[in-house]
Structure 1
Amino acid sequence: MTRRVLTPRNRGFLFLDSHPEGCRRVVADMWQACPAPADTSDGGASEGAGSVALVIGSSAGYGLAATLAGLKRAGIRGIAVSFEKAPTERRTATAGWYRTAATADIARTAGRDLVFLNGDAFSDTMKEQVADLVERRFGGRLDYLVYSVAAPRRTDPGTGTTYASVLKPIGRANRTRTLLFDDQGVPEVREVETGPAEGDDVEQTVAVMGGADWERWIDHLAARDLLADGFTTVALSYIGSPLTAAIYRQGTIGAAKAHLEATARTLDERLGKTVGGRAVTSVNGAAVTQSSTAIPGIALYTGLLRGVLGDGLVPPIRQLAALWDQLTGTAPLTTDDEGRIRLDTFELTDDVQAAVAERWEAATTDTIADLADVDWFRAEVRRLYGFSVPGTDYAAEVDTDVPWPDHTS
């Protein structure tokens, strides 16, 4: 057992350690914030009850929200896959490791059989492990697959080629402003320039973050005859504001998202013919996640958006509760002309975007505290790693050797 007093050590938005108790409370807060279903007649604890779901990328951001909302709102059981690092003598585990342990405790208390696997979701080894579990433990039929993967690189199991994703504009360099904090937590607005995509940057990013691996998962499960009648799959996506379009939707990552959405249309046609199923993408709203903080300009945009909307900024857990309602038929499954579920409408109305754009133009280091909710943003970044979580005693020693959830029982 390793007990330590943990204090936040960070380089920009990247923290070197994570706080187990803070991460546990973050998960508990998300669970409390998720609305309960209207019908709770089975109490959520019937042995063998509930649809079988697979969540890929379950330990952070929208994938974590999908897992928790699926448990509480839809009563799912099944498998959650993520890729996290264990604690060592020198370092804590990654935040996702601790969040997964907390999620497993919640699932157990709720009486839901949810297995948590740690490994490379891109690999065929993980796909085979999941398929074996579905067959052995969950009756050989999968009802839902939620795909929420953000990664810097991917090795294609078929070719052995490793691809690397980049965050770059396409065509020309992009100069934008972004929000940073100094060592004392004082906000600063700084201009950053990102050079344009070169060579095969677009193709590499699409190979990592596009729809290829999602489709490979469907291929693998279908080949094992594990897709239930009416099987539904959704990949989580983002469009965002015109203010960030050059680096995001019109950049390399946007090309990958476009490929993801095209893959959804292909899979939707195929699943409709084979199992009477569906494939869609869900376009979610802006949020502070470990992935989004790496994108130039997104921090400033999200802080300003919170300044405009306040509590009207819909958190991921509530968005994903609404998504599960659509997936399960509790609410009508409605899509736009591109076949996408839109959970970002609160963010992209003309009046909200006009207000954010006005603040964007006025934002400087001197004015940012009046225009953006910088205290909220900074606290949200720290909460990603279990810090600045109300109710957590950061002066107390905490056990960092939290085990990965056991699924053998």
Structure 2
Amino acid sequence: MTDRLIKPVGRGFLFLDSHPVGCAELVNGLTEQIEARKLQQRPVALVIGSSSGYGLAATVAGLARYGIDGIGVSFEKAPTVRRTATAGWYRTAATAAYAESVGSDFHFVNADAFADTTKADVLDLLQEKFGGVDYLIYSVAAPRRVDPRTGTTYQSAIKAIGQPARTKSLAYEDGVPVVQEVGIEVATDDEVAETVQVMGGEDWTRWVDALEERKLLKDGFSTVALTYIGSELTGPIYRQGSIGAAKAHLEQTAQTLSKRDGVAARTSVNGAAVTQASSAIPGIGLYVSLLHKVLGERMQTPMQQSIALWDQLTGEKPLDLDEDGRIRLDRWELADDVQAAVRDQWDAATQETIADVADTVWFFEEVRRLYGFDVAGVDYDQPAEVDVEWPTKA
């Protein structure tokens, strides 16, 4: 037993430790939001990036909504003498326990999704247990990628393209919200290219290639890569920046993959949310806190959007596509009246007004919840067992 009293310690939006009980309760809370549906046969799904953000939501929604079997892949750190495991480690353990409780045969692999060895191991398991796959959901958010075929390490950059940009941004000092003005440098051509290598569609393509080569694509196979477009307010740093170039490549990849026989590939455009990936991008935290102030309970959670995604993938509901063939789960966010209200709040946001125009308390609590803190029903004054095993099956 290695019980510890765990407190949120870190800087900004990055915490050094995670709370295992809080992470487990967070997953349990997600499952309670879902009304089950039954299909004639359990779908087999492969989720790349299953431990956090929208990948976690898609995994839990698939399990609770349609009883999917399959495999989730993520890259998490185990507990050490000094530190807890990563939050994704604990969330995965809780997700595995839930899958077992509802009778789903779902396995979790902890490995680098970019590595060819990981693909080989996952496909071996997929072939052994299921004989093929119906759905591939690709939701990878990583700061860097090592190409296993060249050994080259690519580093993503959060920069503007064409000309420098400035944006308002939200930070916290001892829990107090601080409005900052942040300058965004222009990315070099190499930095844009490297960002595309990390966050674009090449690795997604390699997963589909590997499945095709092993003849593991079932009839009606469908794959989606999760993406984001966002507001004009965040455009210079996101959609028109180096990240946007990678997202554009992801969308082009979907069109290319869909030209293959037996492959239906699309991108799924999700709405804004508080995730470990998004909170690191300048301006996004402020924007999301303003959006929640405007929408309140009308702001759709990653779980609500993931339920909608599964309903569309399984044919329970028709695909909601735009003119470019992308699944749109973000229409609630980009509605004209919503964006107009958020822009008014954005323009009014100063250090003096921030507590009134934005949901800064909600946003900070949501960031803490990513690490298992501020979760209802958890006694944080009690020690917690940190040595939670990674879920494996005999």
Q: Normalised by the shorter chain, which TM-score bucket?
A: over 0.9
Q: CA deviation at 1:342?
A: 0.2
Residue 115 (1) aligns with residue 101 (2): no
2:120 maps to 128
1:305 maps to 291
Residues 70-98 of structure 1 show CA distances to partners (whole Å, capped at 9, x for unaligned) of 11112210000000000001000000000
Q: CA deviation at 1:301?
A: 0.2
1:45 maps to none
Residues 208-248 of structure 1 show CA distances to partners (whole Å, capped at 9, x for unaligned) of 10000000000011000000111000000000000000000
Q: CA deviation at 1:158?
A: 2.1
1:197 maps to 187
Q: CA deviation at 1:266?
A: 0.6
Residues 114-161 of structure 1 show CA distances to partners (whole Å, capped at 9, x for unaligned) of 0000010000001001110111111x1110000000111111122221
Q: Confirm or deny: 8 A CA contact 1:35 1:318 kept in the other structure.
A: no
Amino acid at match of 1:10: G
Bigger mean CA offset, 245-254 vs 68-77: 68-77
Find the partner of 1:168 among 159, 165, 178.
Answer: 159
Q: Confirm or deny: 8 A CA contact 1:169 1:196 kept in the other structure.
A: yes
2:25 maps to 25
1:360-375 equivalences in 2 (<5 Å): 360-375=346-361
Q: After TM superposition, where is structure 1 displaced by more than 2 Å over at least 4 residues in a row?
A: 34-37
Find the partner of 1:149 among 113, 117, 140.
Answer: 140
Q: CA deviation at 1:269?
A: 1.4
Amino acid at match of 2:45: A
The 1-side partners of 2:67 and 2:386 are apart by: 30
Q: Confirm or deny: 8 A CA contact 1:71 1:107 kept in the other structure.
A: yes
The 1-side partners of 2:5 and 2:137 are apart by: 36
2:16 maps to 16
Amino acid at match of 1:371: V
Q: Confirm or deny: 8 A CA contact 1:290 1:384 kept in the other structure.
A: yes
Q: Confirm or deny: 8 A CA contact 1:304 1:371 kept in the other structure.
A: yes
Q: CA deviation at 1:366?
A: 1.1
Identity %: 61
Q: Report the TM-score, using the length of structure 2 for normalisation.
A: 0.98
Q: Confirm or deny: 8 A CA contact 1:2 1:89 kept in the other structure.
A: no
> Which secondary structure does the structure 2 equivalent of 1:243 belong to?
coil
Residue 243 (1) aligns with residue 233 (2): yes
The 1-side partners of 2:65 and 2:245 are apart by: 32
Amino acid at match of 2:250: L
Q: Report the TM-score, using the length of structure 1 for normalisation.
A: 0.95
Name stretches of at least 5 consecutive residues in structure 1 with no aligned partner: 43-48
Q: CA deviation at 1:199?
A: 4.0
The 2-side partners of 1:35 and 1:172 are apart by: 48
Q: CA deviation at 1:34?
A: 2.4
Residue 178 (1) aligns with residue 164 (2): no
Residues 250-291 of structure 1 show CA distances to partners (whole Å, capped at 9, x for unaligned) of 000000000000000111111xxx22x310000000000000
1:163-312 equivalences in 2 (<5 Å): 163-183=154-174, 185-270=175-260, 274-275=261-262, 277-312=263-298
Amino acid at match of 2:199: M
1:61 maps to 53
- Paired positions, count: 394
The 1-side partners of 2:322 and 2:184 are apart by: 32
The 2-side partners of 1:238 and 1:73 are apart by: 24
The 1-side partners of 2:388 and 2:184 are apart by: 39
> Which secondary structure does the structure 1 equivalent of 2:239 belong to?
coil
The 2-side partners of 1:36 and 1:141 are apart by: 24
Provide the alpha-carbon RMSD of the alignment: 1.0
Find the partner of 2:368 among 370, 377, 382.
Answer: 382
